[in-house]
Amino acid sequence: MENSGFSVEQQSASAGGKQSGFGKVKAGIHKVNRVINTIGIWLFRLRKPVMAAPVVYYALKLAAYNSTHLPEQVGIDLQATGEFAQTISREFAVMGPLGLTMACLLLMFCSRKAMYSWAISIFTLTLPLLLLISNTYPS
Query: For every one of its 139 residues, what pLDDT tens digit does the chain have, with 9 covering 90 and above?
Result: 555 555 555 555 555 556 678 888 888 899 999 999 999 999 888 889 988 999 999 999 999 999 998 888 888 887 888 788 888 999 999 999 999 999 999 999 998 888 888 889 889 999 898 888 888 775 5
Report the largest interatomic distance among the alpha carbons of the chain, rounded to a whole angstrom. Answer: 110
The model carries a pTM of: 0.68
Asked whether residue 63 is domain-assigned, the answer is yes
Both 54 and 90 in one domain: the answer is yes
Whether residues 53 and 119 share a domain: the answer is: yes
Q: List b or e across 125-137, with b for residues whose CB sees 16 or more CB atoms inside 10 angstroms.
A: bebbeebbebbee
Phi then psi for residue 10, to 5 deg, are: -70, -35
Q: Is 36 a domain residue?
A: yes
Element containing residue 76 per DSSP (H, E): strand 73-78
Q: Which helix (H) or strand (E) holds 131?
A: helix 126-136
* CB neighbourhood size of 44 (10 A): 9
R_g of the chain, CA atoms, integer Å: 31
CA–CA distance, 117 with 123 (Å, rounded to integer)? 10
Question: Is 32 domain-assigned?
Answer: yes
Whether 24 and 58 map to the same domain: the answer is no
Residue 37 lies in a domain: yes
Q: What domain count does the chain have?
A: 2
- 89 and 130 co-located in one domain: yes
Whether residue 60 sits in one domain with residue 25: no
Is 2 inside a domain boundary?
Answer: no
Range of the domain at 33: 8-42
| 125 phi and psi angles, rounded to 5 deg | -70, -15
